[in-house]
Structure 1
């Protein structure tokens, strides 16, 4: 395990210096940063390729996003059961290799002129499936690498790297698609996954994998145990419901948003990428604040206020008209505030989940919450495409943005809003 925290580590620094001296933690951090950068770039490259090159309709874009997100719904529970029994390092490096190969196939097919909508659908599904494995594994990996009293600060570091990826990924993907080509943008994502592989495979510390029960693994039984555990904990149950409300509405809003920016506001791919990337600096600041605000104002207060701030800001976007001098600054400000509030929620929720969950249940708890929350994204993407097609882009954007406020409402009505300055104890 890492060295103990030094006195005075709560003076506002996001991560104690002892944690940064841990070579294996740094390797996890570098690999996760590169992986997130590749993932965020691909999340922009594939939809923009469909919209700008294949002239995809609102319904087709909704289907493309839903297919890429479907593995969350189909695989999360199984992945959680498996990750609790596997080495997270092995899971992450295999996921990196698979995603690098998938995006390499996109690049090659694009160069040869063979990349159509069916190919995009298949490769988006493959990248999404492998991302489920990586995302569950890296959350569990942190618990196996650091002491529990460092989870908030360790999560702050990892979520900060994800924020950096949100800055560079969308901007890089949008710029490369607009200025060069979709194959070049896809190839850049493959390179980032390769870098993640090279870093994570060098982690040397033996993982403290929970003892496996005797006899053959019963995946269905382990999945059921995870579901019962999360459903039986009031805080985790509220996290699931709030996450489901947010992810459904956010997926619907994003589908409309990706059409609204180029077709209503007439913005180029580069500007679209910058608007999406604006969430990154806000999320980076949110990661830094998440290391100190919950211990000062209480975890519940931070969760509710950050959710209202981050989710409500998108209500300004439907009021914009054309690519005026005000439009782009407003979009950048909206993205920044959304990233700030969203990251405060992400880091705080993850720390709460890790704190109340026993070691042997970490993977299944993370996967169950992912299944319930992120599993709503395919349905949300389809709903967003339908609303945009039937009601128009402006009305569809207003309705889906308002729907995002359901998440803080759920928090206010749950035990999450009453969490204090100290994290709750594990229910071992």
Structure 2
């Protein structure tokens, strides 16, 4: 029986010294890149399909976005436990095939005039659920595919393509909806998942299914330990609360925003895509700044100021009008500022979370924070639809954008704001002498 390290790291097979010479890694990278492009393009295409083709109202759009986000809340923790017991290649291939078939069926129904809002809700939930499985599986697959000394380079390549997809996906989705009919745009989105299927299916390395213990640890008990640890630590508890407040308000804001841009500002699908894609270059700048600013200005100061700047940028959007020449430049600037500040917060929070969490609790702490932080997004999307429908697009957008500022306020009133240039250490541990 292979050792645990060989089963996990892929050292039971010869791997070229250069990562890009490894054909299996290239196939994984191509598949993951195509999948991420399809996923981020679909996140814009499906709402635009509802707004432009089905003339969906604010409440209906809120429900559609909530249904698409619900699998994150319902499945994330369980999928993380399940994928560890399956071959990741199999999971990715099956989910790619499922998403391809789902979008092709939706496109055909749309061309025939059969795709109404109920069918679109089913499609959004199915694609969202399959995406949760794929996203968890591809992150676990690298560890089983390459040597441990290649993990940093492998993760850098995969995360780089994911960032590129976040930049190009929305712009591509908006352009496809503008240039093609909405059903054909949905069908073209299926091509990305088909490409991912064909690439990942060609991975030759056959993973070993991890041996199942006679008495495996109970999933519920491990989840409870993670929850107890995170909620028992003041800094991590604040991160959870601030993240939940932000994600709830951001989901509400985005629901109104996707209606505000085409209906109030009369932007085309391409312009909407470019507006959303502007966060990508900002995120790249935020990643660069995150490597230097916290150690110079203090982690707490960077967290509070970057969150306030990023979240406050959207407060100026309700004042824009379609006839103004500065409308699109302002929207692009807002997206860029939001991407810069948001990524600066994300990277700094991750560093703080990793610093205060013992090694044996890292995975569960990350999953718990993601679960708590993202758990309210479906309700936020519903609230955004309600605000837009009852209060109007401008007022609803202003209220939702103002709600995002609750996140930096919570951090400013907590011990997170007092963090200095050095990262904290877990309770009961001595500071690492190698730390700067």
In the other structure, the counterpart of 2:161 is: 161
Alpha-carbon separation, structure 1, partners of 2:150 and 2:239? 21
Instruction: Give the Å deviation of 1:273.
Output: 1.7
Q: Is the 8 A contact 1:298 1:421 kept in 2?
A: yes
Instruction: Give the Å deviation of 1:170.
Output: 1.2
Instruction: Give the Å deviation of 1:406.
Output: 1.5
Alpha-carbon separation, structure 1, partners of 2:25 and 2:351? 17
2:365 equivalent to 1:365: yes
Instruction: Give the Å deviation of 1:41.
Output: 0.5
Instruction: Give the Å deviation of 1:100.
Output: 2.5
Q: Is the 8 A contact 1:312 1:402 kept in 2?
A: yes
370-379 vs 137-146, which moves further: 137-146
In the other structure, the counterpart of 1:187 is: 187
Structure 2: gaps spanning 5 or more residues: 6-16, 430-436
In the other structure, the counterpart of 1:227 is: 227
Query: What is the DSSP-based 3-state SS (H/G/I as helix, E as strand, rest coil) of the residue aligned with 2:250?
Result: helix
In the other structure, the counterpart of 2:404 is: 404
In the other structure, the counterpart of 1:328 is: 328
Alpha-carbon separation, structure 2, partners of 1:346 and 1:186? 31
Alpha-carbon separation, structure 2, partners of 1:297 and 1:150? 31
Alpha-carbon separation, structure 1, partners of 2:297 and 2:406? 23
Instruction: Give the Å deviation of 1:34.
Output: 2.7
Instruction: Give the Å deviation of 1:251.
Output: 0.5
Q: Is the 8 A contact 2:70 2:125 kept in 1?
A: yes
2:117 equivalent to 1:117: yes
Instruction: Give the Å deviation of 1:377.
Output: 0.8
1:13-52 to 2 correspondences below 5 Å: 29-52=29-52
399-408 vs 287-296, which moves further: 287-296
Q: Which has the larger radius of gyration?
A: 2
Instruction: Give the Å deviation of 1:19.
Output: 7.7
199-208 vs 177-186, which moves further: 199-208
Instruction: Give the Å deviation of 1:110.
Output: 1.9
Query: What is the DSSP-based 3-state SS (H/G/I as helix, E as strand, rest coil) of the residue aligned with 1:271?
Result: helix
37-46 vs 19-28, which moves further: 19-28
Q: Is the 8 A contact 2:296 2:421 kept in 1?
A: no
In the other structure, the counterpart of 1:4 is: none
23-32 vs 337-346, which moves further: 23-32
1:160–1:424: structure 2 CA closer, same or farther, 3 Å change rule? farther
Alpha-carbon separation, structure 2, partners of 1:358 and 1:212? 25
140-149 vs 403-412, which moves further: 140-149
Query: What is the DSSP-based 3-state SS (H/G/I as helix, E as strand, rest coil) of the residue aligned with 2:376?
Result: helix
Structure 1: gaps spanning 5 or more residues: 2-16
Alpha-carbon separation, structure 2, partners of 1:325 and 1:67? 36
Alpha-carbon separation, structure 1, partners of 2:303 and 2:196? 31
Q: Is the 8 A contact 2:251 2:380 kept in 1?
A: yes
1:416–1:28: structure 2 CA closer, same or farther, 3 Å change rule? farther
Q: Is the 8 A contact 1:34 1:193 kept in 2?
A: yes
Instruction: Give the Å deviation of 1:156.
Output: 6.2
In the other structure, the counterpart of 1:105 is: 105
Q: Could you report, residue by residue, the CA deviation over 1:148-171 in whole angstroms, capped at 9, with x for unpaired residues?
A: 9987x8766554433321221111
Alpha-carbon separation, structure 1, partners of 2:151 and 2:423? 13
Q: Is the 8 A contact 1:85 1:210 kept in 2?
A: yes
1:297–1:193: structure 2 CA closer, same or farther, 3 Å change rule? farther
Instruction: Give the Å deviation of 1:427.
Output: 9.4
Query: What is the DSSP-based 3-state SS (H/G/I as helix, E as strand, rest coil) of the residue aligned with 2:115?
Result: coil
Instruction: Give the Å deviation of 1:424.
Output: 4.7
In the other structure, the counterpart of 1:390 is: 390
In the other structure, the counterpart of 2:380 is: 380
1:222–1:108: structure 2 CA closer, same or farther, 3 Å change rule? farther
In the other structure, the counterpart of 1:172 is: 172
Instruction: Give the Å deviation of 1:119.
Output: 0.9
Q: Is the 8 A contact 1:140 1:363 kept in 2?
A: no
In the other structure, the counterpart of 1:239 is: 239
Instruction: Give the Å deviation of 1:75.
Output: 1.5
1:64-213 to 2 correspondences below 5 Å: 64-86=64-86, 88-139=88-139, 158-200=158-200, 213=213
TM-score, with length taken from structure 1: 0.83
1:269-288 to 2 correspondences below 5 Å: 269-288=269-288
Instruction: Give the Å deviation of 1:235.
Output: 3.6
1:425–1:270: structure 2 CA closer, same or farther, 3 Å change rule? same
Instruction: Give the Å deviation of 1:316.
Output: 0.9
1:221–1:211: structure 2 CA closer, same or farther, 3 Å change rule? farther
Instruction: Give the Å deviation of 1:30.
Output: 4.4
Q: Is the 8 A contact 2:142 2:151 kept in 1?
A: no
Alpha-carbon separation, structure 1, partners of 2:326 and 2:207? 52
Alpha-carbon separation, structure 2, partners of 1:197 and 1:235? 41
1:34–1:364: structure 2 CA closer, same or farther, 3 Å change rule? farther
Aligned pairs, number? 412
Query: What is the DSSP-based 3-state SS (H/G/I as helix, E as strand, rest coil) of the residue aligned with 2:375?
Result: helix
**CA RMSD of superposed structures (Å):** 3.5
